[in-house]
Amino acid sequence: MKNEIIIFGIILVILGYVLLYSGYQKLQPTKADKTLGYFKDFAEGLSGEKIKGFPKKDNTESIILILLGCISFIAGLMMILKSRNSTKSISSDFHINNNNSNLYCSNCGAKVERNVKFCPECGNEIG
């Protein structure tokens, strides 16, 4: 279950990145836009007037893409962080439990306390 959340989060992050990237690419002026811009400057230079009514680029689509990308990216990151945090708390719980439990001597199998360096039964060095 936790792995699924992480995978879903990673997918969201990747999706967000793709959306951001494509939105960013759409915001970049294309070659046609640049040519049009040069032509506009040239025409304005010739006539000495500002030319109005040149087709303006519609950035709404790319802004929506970037916004969606941001939301999906952040949501994915939060999911990953959340599941990582819960995994962390589980492992620290496990660590506490591990500290409380006794060790067993690898030589004779006797129960040995954690802070003891040598087995009281056979004198074998512990861990």
The binding site for Zn ion (CB under 5 A) comprises 105, 107-108, 110, 119, 121-122, 124
For the CB of residue 101, give the shortest distance to Zn ion in the complex, in Å. 17
For the CB of residue 90, give the shortest distance to Zn ion in the complex, in Å. 32
**88-108 burial string, b = 16+ CB within 10 Å, else e?**
eeeeeeeeeeeeeeebebeee
Question: Which residue, 78 or 108, has its beta carbon nearer to Zn ion?
Answer: 108
For the CB of residue 115, give the shortest distance to Zn ion in the complex, in Å. 16
Question: Which residue, 67 or 122, has its beta carbon nearer to Zn ion?
Answer: 122
Question: Which residue, 86 or 107, has its beta carbon nearer to Zn ion?
Answer: 107
Question: Which residue, 77 or 126, has its beta carbon nearer to Zn ion?
Answer: 126
- Rounded to whole angstroms, the Cα distance separating 105 from 119 reads 6
Residues 16, 76 contacting (CB under 8 angstroms): yes
Quick check: helix, strand or coil at residue 56? coil
For the CB of residue 125, give the shortest distance to Zn ion in the complex, in Å. 10
Cα torsion 8, 83, 14, 57: sign? positive
Q: Which residues contact 33 (CB under 8 A, 6 or more apart)?
A: 57
